[in-house]
Amino acid sequence: MFSEKELNEKFSKEYAKLEKEIDKPNILIIGGTGVGKSSLINKIFGKEVSKVSNVKPETRGINTYTHKDVVLLDTEGFELGSDKNTIFEEKIIAEIEKRKKGDEKNQIHLIWHLISASSERVTDYDVNLFNKLESFGLPAAVVFTKSDIANQDSMNNMVKRLYPHMDFDSAFSNNEIPPFFVCSTEDDEMLSPLNLVNWSISKLPDALKYAFTASQILNCEAKFDQAKSIINQHTMGNVVVGFSPIPFSDAPILIASQIGMLTRIIRLYNLAEINMGSFMSTTGAGLVISNLGKSAVGSLLKFIPVIGTAIGGAINAAVAGTITFAMGTAMNVLMRKITIDYLNGDMKRVQSDISNFSEMFKNQFNEEFKKKNNK
Are 225 and 157 part of one and the same domain? no
| pLDDT for residue 2 is more than 70 | no
Quickly count: other Cβ atoms within 10 Å of residue 246's Cβ. 17
Q: What is the mean pLDDT of residues 46-67?
A: 62
Owning domain of residue 116: 26-203
With 0-12 CB in 10 A as exposed, 13-18 as middle and 19+ as buried, what is 212?
buried
Any domain includes 312: yes
CB 283 within 8 A of CB 35: no
Are 55 and 138 part of one and the same domain? yes
Are 183 and 242 part of one and the same domain? no
Indicate the range of 133-142, 159-168, 246-255, 297-306 predicted with least confidence.
297-306
Are 251 and 363 part of one and the same domain? yes
User: How much of the chain, in percent, has pLDDT values that exceed 70?
Assistant: 70
Any domain includes 209: no
Any domain includes 313: yes
Rounded (10°) CA dihedral 198, 200, 203, 204: -120
110 vs 318: which has the higher pLDDT: 110
Any domain includes 350: yes
Any domain includes 213: no
What per-residue confidence (pLDDT) applies to 277? 59
What per-residue confidence (pLDDT) applies to 270? 85
| pLDDT for residue 369 is more than 80 | yes
Any domain includes 166: yes
What per-residue confidence (pLDDT) applies to 230? 95
CATH of the domain at 104: 3.40.50.300
Are 196 and 244 part of one and the same domain? no
| pLDDT for residue 354 is more than 60 | yes
| pLDDT for residue 111 is more than 80 | yes
What per-residue confidence (pLDDT) applies to 298? 53
3-state secondary structure the chain: CCCHHHHHHHHHHHHHHHHHHCCCCEEEEEEECCCCHHHHHHHHHCCCCEECCCCCCCCCCEEEEEECCEEEEEECCECCCCCHHHHHHHHHHHHHHHHHCCCHHHCCCEEEEEEEHHHCCCCHHHHHHHHHHHCCCCCEEEEEECCCCCCHHHHHHHHHHHCCCCCHHHHHHCCCCCCEEECCCCCCHHHCCHHHHHHHHHHCCHHHHHHHHHHCCCCHHHHHHHHHHHHHHHHHHHHHHHCCCCCCCCHHHHHHHHHHHHHHHHHHHCCCCCCHHHHHHHHCHHHHHHHHHHHHHHHHHCCCCCCCCHHHHHHHHHHHHHHHHHHHHHHHHHHHHHHHHHHCCCHHHHHHHHHCHHHHHHHHHHHHHHHHHCC
Give 313's pLDDT tier (boundaries 50, 70, 90).
very low
Q: What is the pLDDT of residues 263-307, one digit of tens each?
A: 999 999 988 666 665 677 667 676 677 666 555 555 554 444 444
Separation CA 195–CA 219 (nearest Å): 10
Are 183 and 243 part of one and the same domain? no
Are 166 and 252 part of one and the same domain? no
What per-residue confidence (pLDDT) applies to 196? 92
Of the residues 143, 173, 203, the one at which a domain ends: 203
Q: Mean pLDDT score of the chain, rounded to an integer?
A: 78
Separation CA 46–CA 375 (nearest Å): 41
Are 71 and 193 part of one and the same domain? yes
Q: What is the mean pLDDT of residues 34-50?
A: 80
Please give the C-alpha separations between residue 314 and each of 226, 245, 246, 293, 323, in angstroms, as whole numbers: 28, 11, 12, 18, 14
Q: How many domains does the chain have?
A: 2
Any domain includes 212: no
Q: What is the pLDDT of residues 175-219, one digit of tens each?
A: 556 668 888 766 666 678 898 999 999 999 999 999 999 999 999
Separation CA 34–CA 300 (nearest Å): 63
Indicate the range of 4-18, 49-63, 139-153 predicted with least confidence.
49-63
Are 142 and 229 part of one and the same domain? no
**Phi and psi dihedrals of 151, rounded to 5?**
-90, 170
Any domain includes 228: yes
280 vs 245: which has the higher pLDDT: 280
| pTM across the whole model | 0.84
